[in-house]
A and B are shown apart, each in its own frame.
Chain A
Amino acid sequence: GENVEQHPSTLSVQEGDSAVIKCTYSDSASNYFPWYKQELGKRPQLIIDIRSNVGEKKDQRIAVTLNKTAKHFSLHITETQPEDSAVYFCAASIAHAGKSTFGDGTTLTVKP
């Protein structure tokens, strides 16, 4: 089955700096890659996603890049703010199967 590895497990940045979280996946059939943000005690919520026919996608301060050949994708957060502090999960899935495999998460702390 699919295996997703996520790095780093913890990340601390100063407010205003950029943060990058990287994930690798094993199943070349995976074609949909969502990112979720989970605040303490809350549900994971989708923040951005990318499909395999696209190399990069941006939404305001967040962007995701995908390298299908290397089987890795990354989340980029620019101009970080304290409210960006949360656990971020990447996932890889096969669109028609509707099943996602999640990474173990990255705890991002943005220091004011």
Chain B
Amino acid sequence: EAGVAQSPRYKIIEKRQSVAFWCNPISGHATLYWYQQILGQGPKLLIQFQNNGVVDDSQLPKDRFSAERLKGVDSTLKIQPAKLEDSAVYLCASSLGGGDSGNTIYFGEGSWLTVV
């Protein structure tokens, strides 16, 4: 079974530049998440989609971060303009969604962002 795919794997940008990350979830998974993982910390939820609708974006810094999931499959996460503190791994994850059997979250390999 194919896992969660993410690209690019690594990105180095200067502060105030923009960057976009792409994610393709496991086929059939209705729920898609973007997490931010800063070195030494656990993943922190940025946004959760159910199909193509936003379920939770309360922790997304909306002045600089945006995300979309058109057609309820692939998703992109954009940062513009980037700040030094945005240096982190951006993990995309997916789950079947809903119900007791659909909670297991499967993570992608992550997109490592360094802002200099």
| Binary flags per residue of A10-37, CB closer than 8 Å to B gives 1, else 0 | 0000000000000000000000101010
Contact A89 B98, CB 8 Å, known A43-B107, A49-B104: no
Q: Please state if B104 and A34 are interface contacts (CB–CB under 8 Å).
A: yes
Q: Is the interface of A mostly helix, strand, loop or mixed?
A: strand
Q: Is the interface of B mostly helix, strand, loop or mixed?
A: loop
Chain B residues with a Cβ closer than 8 Å to the other chain, count: 29
Q: How far is the CA of A45 from the CA of B41 in the complex (A)?
A: 16
Chain A residues with a Cβ closer than 8 Å to the other chain, count: 27
Q: Please state if B99 and A95 are interface contacts (CB–CB under 8 Å).
A: yes
List, in ascending order, chain B residues with CB within 8 A of A61's CB: none
Q: How far is the CA of A4 from the CA of B41 in the complex (A)?
A: 12
List, in ascending order, chain B residues with CB within 8 A of A103's CB: 42
Q: Please state if A98 and B91 are interface contacts (CB–CB under 8 Å).
A: no
B31 at the binding interface (Cβ < 8 Å) = yes
Tell me which residues from 29 to 70 in chain B have a Cβ below 8 Å from any Cβ of chain A. 31, 40-45, 48, 50, 55-56, 58
B102 at the binding interface (Cβ < 8 Å) = yes
Closest CB of chain A to B37's CB: distance in Å? 8
